[in-house]
């Protein structure tokens, strides 16, 4: 198996200016996908790579016709997609099997909708179960199977309908390493040797190595909102060797592309899309903070200091066993606090960053406190707590404000991160039982070592 199937010239899927906004209970809409234009051709295995929460699943749902874009067009073989596309099938991260049906019944289910008769369904399903390594398990129930076996059922069910387009939403990320690796190789084998009639595969992932290992093209999305920031061919022959120089170089390069830009900052300035711009100015009043854990931040900065103050993000990630998705919030936090600069995949400590690494815990708290003075969310919290006679406010109050700017999930994550940081920096206390944020006596008087309390500039 040396090369991917032949690539045809008429696109299977064509997205033109696909934009998706989610309406919020109040007047603020959330822009998730911004002007996505993309063609996928028969013969291609495309990986769609982006940080979590960027809108990958949303895009996949739009492509398979399960959801409609707010603006823009989706064409399948040149025809507009107006409902669930019978030529597309989906494999989910969570397997999504029916627990009360046997393995065979789960696989047959897709064929019922296609109107095939009982015998056809049974023969076809049994053949697929065999192909995918599940013979002997026909009458078992999902709960009797390991995660890896359940995902095999997920694949068999998707393949049962002979999909032209096989969509997979992080299909390997709920599996342990070895199981995932086996399934990846087996799927590649089915695809490359044309044992399945599938014309194109679209795999959503947040794993860079996984994308480079499997796909022959990688489309990279930014976050807040999702835009296509790169579209790269993967010219490596199959089977790919993760240890080869070419493989490592390409992973390193994709890492640089993914980490090389800060779309939160950028989107506030850019105005090439007027409809998006209106939404963004509303949102810009409270910029999202990255979900960096402060203990991880300290660990990362110390590691980089040991390396002389600079290191490659890809190396750091693999050393700390962090996927780029988990590493990015930490490096973004380091940048937000002016402790490090990230450029072209390298992280370099600033003078303040060096000072931080050498400092004791109290001094570290002071440095973070000083940096938080410039973060709008903390100015808001501080202003509210100071203006109250009892210097206390329920978490719910801030949640409500945040939900005017972010989705419900995002608002919760923003607030939990803010509470974590604020407690570490001794800016305020939080009582988990009463869910109250409050200022203790010393915090009410606190002036950050001679500077005035947090205030609007």
Q: Which residues bind ligand ADP (CB under 6 A)?
A: 22, 30, 32, 50, 52-58, 407, 409-410
Residues in the chain: 457
Half-sphere exposure of 422 (CA within 13 A, CB side): 28
Q: How far is the CB of 92 from ligand ADP (least distance, A)?
A: 11
Task: Between 106 and 222, name the residue whose CB sits nearer to ligand ADP.
Answer: 222
Helix (H, G, I), strand (E, B) or coil at 445: helix
Q: How far is CA 173 from CA 4, 188, 334, in A?
A: 24, 16, 27
Contact 217, 231 (CB under 8 A): yes
179 binds, among ligand ADP, Mg ion, none (CB under 5 to 8 A by kind): none
Q: How far is CA 17 from CA 74, 132, 218, in A?
A: 9, 37, 19
152 binds, among Mg ion, ligand ADP, none (CB under 5 to 8 A by kind): none
In the numeric block, the tokens 């198996």 are attached to: 1
Q: How far is the CB of 23 from Mg ion (least distance, A)?
A: 20
- Assign 3-class secondary structure to 154-209: HHHHHHHCCCCEEEEECCCCCCCHHHHHHHHHHHHHHHHCCCCCCCEEEEEECCHH
Q: How far is the CB of 56 from Mg ion (least distance, A)?
A: 5
273 binds, among Mg ion, ligand ADP, none (CB under 5 to 8 A by kind): none
> Token digits for 148?
């890896």
Task: Between 50 and 163, name the residue whose CB sits nearer to ligand ADP.
Answer: 50
54 binds, among Mg ion, ligand ADP, none (CB under 5 to 8 A by kind): ligand ADP
Cis before residue 389, ω within 30 degrees of 0?
Answer: no
Task: Between 57 and 102, name the residue whose CB sits nearer to ligand ADP.
Answer: 57
- Order the strands of the 79-80 sheet from edge to edge: 29-40, 13-23, 71-76, 79-80
407 binds, among ligand ADP, Mg ion, none (CB under 5 to 8 A by kind): ligand ADP
Cis before residue 225, ω within 30 degrees of 0?
Answer: yes
* CA dihedral sign, ordered 421, 424, 426, 430: positive
355 binds, among ligand ADP, Mg ion, none (CB under 5 to 8 A by kind): none
Q: How far is the CB of 56 from ligand ADP (least distance, A)?
A: 3
Q: How far is the CB of 53 from ligand ADP (least distance, A)?
A: 4
Contact 106, 99 (CB under 8 A): no
Q: How far is the CB of 230 from ligand ADP (least distance, A)?
A: 16
Please give the Cα distance from 27 to 56 (Å, whole number).
25
Q: How far is the CB of 191 from ligand ADP (least distance, A)?
A: 23
Strand pairing class (79-80; 88-92): unpaired
Task: Between 277 and 407, name the residue whose CB sits nearer to ligand ADP.
Answer: 407
298 lines the binding site for Mg ion (CB under 5 A): no
22 binds, among Mg ion, ligand ADP, none (CB under 5 to 8 A by kind): ligand ADP
Cite the beta strand spans of 69-189 per DSSP E.
71-76, 79-80, 88-92, 165-169
> Token digits for 61?
């749902």
Task: Between 84 and 136, name the residue whose CB sits nearer to ligand ADP.
Answer: 84
Count of residues touching Mg ion (by CB under 5 A): 1
Q: How far is the CB of 37 from Mg ion (least distance, A)?
A: 21
Q: How far is the CB of 432 from ligand ADP (least distance, A)?
A: 24
Residues 31-90 that bind Mg ion (CB under 5 A): 57
Q: How far is the CB of 124 from ligand ADP (least distance, A)?
A: 31
Residues 6+ apart with CB under 8 A from 134: 103, 149, 152, 153, 156
Contact 437, 419 (CB under 8 A): yes
Task: Between 102 and 407, name the residue whose CB sits nearer to Mg ion.
Answer: 407
42 binds, among Mg ion, ligand ADP, none (CB under 5 to 8 A by kind): none
53 binds, among ligand ADP, Mg ion, none (CB under 5 to 8 A by kind): ligand ADP
Cite the beta strand spans of 252-324 per DSSP E.
310-312
Q: How far is CA 203 from CA 215, 314, 334, 367, in A?
A: 8, 22, 31, 42
Please give the Cα distance from 308 to 17 (Å, whole number).
45
Q: How far is the CB of 53 from Mg ion (least distance, A)?
A: 8
Per-residue contact string for residues 359-398; x = within reach of Mg ion by CB under 5 A: ----------------------------------------
198 binds, among Mg ion, ligand ADP, none (CB under 5 to 8 A by kind): none
55 binds, among ligand ADP, Mg ion, none (CB under 5 to 8 A by kind): ligand ADP
Task: Between 174 and 236, name the residue whose CB sits nearer to Mg ion.
Answer: 174
Q: Which residues bind Mg ion (CB under 5 A)?
A: 57
């Amino acid at each position: 198996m040396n090369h991917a199937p032949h690539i045809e010239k008429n696109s299977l899927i064509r997205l033109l200016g696909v934009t998706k906004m989610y309406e919020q209970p109040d007047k603020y809409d959330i822009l998730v996908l911004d002007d996505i234009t993309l063609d996928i051709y028969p013969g291609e295995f495309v990986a769609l790579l982006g940080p979590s929460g960027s809108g990958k699943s949303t895009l996949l749902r739009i492509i398979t016709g399960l959801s409609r874009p707010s603006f823009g067009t989706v064409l399948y073989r040149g025809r507009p997609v107006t409902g669930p596309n019978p030529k597309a099938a989906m494999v989910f991260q969570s397997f999504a099997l029916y627990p009360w049906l046997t393995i065979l019944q789960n696989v047959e289910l897709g064929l019922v909708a296609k109107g095939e008769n009982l015998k056809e369904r049974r023969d076809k399903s049994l053949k697929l179960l065999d192909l995918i390594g599940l013979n002997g398990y026909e009458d078992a129930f999902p709960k009797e199977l390991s995660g890896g076996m359940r995902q095999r059922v997920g694949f068999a069910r998707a393949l049962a309908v002979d999909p032209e387009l096989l969509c997979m939403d992080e299909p390997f990320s709920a599996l342990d390493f070895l199981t995932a690796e086996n399934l990846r190789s087996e799927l590649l084998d089915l695809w490359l040797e044309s044992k399945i009639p599938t014309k194109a595969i679209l795999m959503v992932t947040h794993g860079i190595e996984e994308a480079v290992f499997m796909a022959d093209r990688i489309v990279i999305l930014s976050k807040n909102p999702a835009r296509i920031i790169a579209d790269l061919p993967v010219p490596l022959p199959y089977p790919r060797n993760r240890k080869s120089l070419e493989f490592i170089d390409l992973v390193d390069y994709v890492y640089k592309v993914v980490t090389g830009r800060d779309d939160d900052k950028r989107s506030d300035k850019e105005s090439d899309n007027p409809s998006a711009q209106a939404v963004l100015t509303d949102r810009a009043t409270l910029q999202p903070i990255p979900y960096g854990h402060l203990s991880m931040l300290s660990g990362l900065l110390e590691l980089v200091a040991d390396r002389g103050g600079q290191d490659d993000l890809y190396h750091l990630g693999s050393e700390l066993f962090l996927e780029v998705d988990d590493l990015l919030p930490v490096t973004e936090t380091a940048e937000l606090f002016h402790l490090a600069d990230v450029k072209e995949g390298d992280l370099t400590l600033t003078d303040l960053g060096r000072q931080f690494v050498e400092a004791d815990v109290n001094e570290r708290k002071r440095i973070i406190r000083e940096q938080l003075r410039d973060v709008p969310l903390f100015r808001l919290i501080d202003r509210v707590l100071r203006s109250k006679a009892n210097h206390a406010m329920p978490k719910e109050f801030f949640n409500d404000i945040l939900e005017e700017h972010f989705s419900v999930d995002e608002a919760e994550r923003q607030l939990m991160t803010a509470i974590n940081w604020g407690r570490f920096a001794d800016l305020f206390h939080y009582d988990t039982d009463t869910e109250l944020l409050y200022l203790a006596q010393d915090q009410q008087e606190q002036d950050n070592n001679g500077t005035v309390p947090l205030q609007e500039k």
